[in-house]
Amino acid sequence: MTLFLSTHENKIDKKGRVSIPAPFRAELSPESFQGVVLFRSNTYACLEGVAWSYMQEIGNRLDDFDLFSAEQDDLATSIFGTAVQLSMDGDGRVVMPQDLIGFANLSERASFVGMGAKFQIWNPSDFEARRDEARHAVQSKKLTIPKGRGHE
């Protein structure tokens, strides 16, 4: 199971390339497609990154909707239509499309934030604010992680 952990800050060079952190590459390496899928977050000014197989899983679940239903079309449009598939070069880098760079407010550097099955890409200073906010939310609301159901 893929598990992205920790935060890594890397540089975006003038060609728009950025190195995927090596620990994240290690999680991605069992994949048949050597690369990542990025899409816009629905909540924050950041990007979400997942493995190719994660998208296949979403695709399978969408197949359980009625074909051509409004729900299926809305979900597919907003998820698959806005995602991009980026392949890594031999050195583990991807080129970030310009519109995604703009959406996430990125310039010189990018923070890769492990979130378990996915990761996020943030403007480093935006992320610091977000991290503090999340920490306070967890403390004040006393959020906990529910007991597992054993993955039946």
Partner DNA sequence: TGGATATATATGGGATACCATGGGAAAAGC
Partner DNA sequence: GCTTTTCCCATGGTATCCCATATATATCCA
Interface positions with its own copies (CB under 8 A): 1, 3-7, 23, 37, 41-43, 55-64, 67-68, 70-71, 73-85, 113-117, 120, 130-131, 134-135, 137-139, 141, 143, 145-149, 151
Nearer to DNA, 50 or 96 (CB): 96
Minimum CB distance to its own copies, residue 34 (Å): 13
Closest CA to 41 of 72, 83, 97, 10: 83
Residue 42 three-state SS: coil
Q: How far is the C-alpha of 40 from the C-alpha of 100, rounded, in Å?
A: 7
Measured CA angle at 136 (ends 135, 138), to 5 deg: 65
Minimum CB distance to its own copies, residue 112 (Å): 10
Q: Which residues form the interface with DNA (CB under 7 A)?
A: 8, 10-11, 13-22, 25-26, 87, 89-93, 95
Nearer to DNA, 20 or 104 (CB): 20
Q: How far is the C-alpha of 8 from the C-alpha of 38, rounded, in Å?
A: 17
Q: How far is the C-alpha of 53 from the C-alpha of 102, rounded, in Å?
A: 26
Reading the block at residue 23, the tokens are 């620990």
Minimum CB distance to its own copies, residue 141 (Å): 8
Which one of its own copies, DNA, none is in contact with 32 (Cβ closer than 5 to 8 A by kind)? none
Which one of its own copies, DNA, none is in contact with 92 (Cβ closer than 5 to 8 A by kind)? DNA
Nearer to DNA, 14 or 142 (CB): 14
* 8 Å CB contact between 46 and 101: no
Minimum CB distance to DNA, residue 67 (Å): 27
* 8 Å CB contact between 12 and 110: yes
